[in-house]
């Protein structure tokens, strides 16, 4: 095998590993728990749809961040910190635009935004970090 094929195999394995870690059950527990405990009248979507799309989202995001991080030479902590910020901002914009929740006051919306930010920071900076560190 030439060096290029070995590089592609390494990148493929790294991306696959990052996808599996990002979509794993330990990475999903905080989000599942929080969303499941929001009363259904306030949720404008079914939990079952969320249960299969959220792992795909986190897996793809973790894979893309691994590729970008290896390209720019960032550390694992830097990569996950940036990914947590981007992920939280994207989700806040998504749920606001699509009106996925029906809260009665701005305070409830702000509280929900804060919960999203804290949850994404915890998932990426604690759970995914530990999984990447010990399974890498």
Task: Tell me the pLDDT tens digit for each residue of 4-55.
Answer: 666 566 667 788 899 999 999 999 999 889 888 888 777 767 788 888 899 9
- At 3, the pLDDT band (50, 70, 90 cuts) reads low
- Class of residue 113 by CB neighbours under 10 A (exposed 0-12, middle 13-18, buried 19+): middle
- Class of residue 95 by CB neighbours under 10 A (exposed 0-12, middle 13-18, buried 19+): middle
Those residues whose C-beta lies under 8 Å from the C-beta of residue 46, and which sit 6 or more positions away, are none
Q: What is the pLDDT of residue 8?
A: 63
């Amino acid at each position: 095998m030439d060096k290029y094929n070995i590089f592609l195999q390494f990148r493929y394995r790294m991306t696959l590993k990052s996808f599996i870690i990002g979509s794993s059950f330990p990475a999903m527990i905080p989000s599942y728990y929080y969303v499941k405990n929001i009363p259904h009248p306030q949720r404008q979507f079914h939990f079952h749809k969320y249960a299969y799309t959220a792992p795909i989202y986190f897996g793809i995001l973790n894979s893309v961040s691994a590729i970008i991080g290896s390209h720019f030479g960032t550390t694992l902590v830097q990569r996950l910190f940036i990914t947590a910020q981007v992920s939280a901002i994207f989700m806040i914009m998504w749920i606001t635009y699509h009106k996925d929740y029906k809260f009665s006051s701005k305070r409830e919306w702000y509280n929900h935004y804060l919960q999203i930010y804290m949850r994404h920071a915890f998932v990426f900076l604690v759970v995914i970090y530990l999984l990447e560190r010990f399974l890498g």
